[in-house]
Amino acid sequence: MSQQRTDLRNLAIIAHVDHGKTTLVDAMLKQSHIFRDNQVMVERVMDSNPLERERGITILAKNTAVTYGKVKINIVDTPGHADFGGEVERVLNMVDGVLLLVDAVEGPMPQTRFVLRKALELHHKVVVVVNKIDRANARIDYATNATFDLFIELGATEDQTDFPIVYTDGLRGFAGLSPTSLAPDLQPLFETILSSLPPPMVERDGPTQMLVNLLAYDDYKGRIAIGRLYAGRLRRAQEVIRIAKDGTCYPGKIAQLFVHQGLDRIEVEEAEAGEIVAVTGLAEIGIGETIADKDNPIALPPLLVDEPTVQMTFSVNTSPFAGREGKWSSSRSLRERLFKELEHNVSLRVYDTETPDSFLVAGRGELHLVVVIETMRREGYELQVSRPEVIFQTDLQSGERLEPFERVSIEVPEEQSGLVMEMLGVRRGRLQDMRIGDQGFVHYEFIVPTRGLLGFRQAFLTATRGTGLLNSLFHAYEPMVGEIRGRDRGSLVAWEAGISTSYGLASAEASGILFIGPGTEAYEGMIVGEAAKERDLEVNVAKKKHLTNMRASTSDISVRLTPPRQMSLDNCVEYLSEDELLEVTPKSLRLRKKVLDRHGRKRVKVAGR
Q: Is 22 annotated as a binding residue?
A: yes
Q: Cα-flanking dihedrals φ and ψ of residue 341, to 5°?
A: -60, -30
* Angle of CA points 467, 470, 471, to nearest 5°: 150
> Using CA atoms in the order 342, 344, 348, 354, what is the torsion angle rounded to 10 degrees?
-10
Long-range pairs of 427-431 with CB within 8 A, sequence gap ≥ 24: 427/451, 427/452, 427/453, 427/456, 427/484, 428/452, 428/481, 428/482, 428/484
Q: How far apart are CA 442 and CA 382, in angstroms?
A: 43
- Separation of CA 282 from chain center: 28
Q: Which amino acid does the sequence have at 599? A: H
Q: Is 134 annotated as a binding residue?
A: yes
Q: How far apart are CA 434 and CA 344, in angstroms?
A: 39
Q: How far apart are CA 209 and CA 274, in angstroms?
A: 10
3-state secondary structure of 408: strand
Strands, E, within 437-500: which ranges?
Answer: 441-449, 469-479, 491-494, 498-499
Share of the chain residues as helix, strand and coil, in percent rounded to the nearest 5: 25, 35, 40
Q: How many helices (H) and strands (E) does the chain have?
A: 15, 38
Q: Is 18 annotated as a binding residue?
A: yes
Which residues is 14 bridged to in the sheet?
Answer: 100
Q: Is 123 annotated as a binding residue?
A: no
Contact 403, 480 (CB under 8 A): yes
Contact 387, 578 (CB under 8 A): yes
Long-range pairs of 561-564 with CB within 8 A, sequence gap ≥ 24: 561/502, 561/505, 561/506, 561/509, 561/514, 561/517, 561/518, 562/509, 562/513, 562/514, 563/517, 564/513, 564/514, 564/515, 564/516, 564/517, 564/529
3-state secondary structure of 579: coil
DSSP label at residue 334: H
Q: Is 19 annotated as a binding residue?
A: yes
> Using CA atoms in the order 44, 588, 470, 534, what is the torsion angle rounded to 10 degrees?
170
- Dihedral sign for Cα 411, 413, 414, 420, please: negative
Contact 274, 8 (CB under 8 A): yes
Q: Is 133 annotated as a binding residue?
A: yes
Q: State how beta strands 165-169 and 276-280 pair.
A: unpaired
Q: Which amino acid does the sequence have at 195? A: S
Region of residue 56 (left: phi > 0; alpha: psi -120 to 50; beta: else): left
Q: Would you list which residues are annotated within the binding site for GTP? A: 18-23, 131-134
Q: Would you list which residues are annotated within the binding site? A: 18-23, 131-134
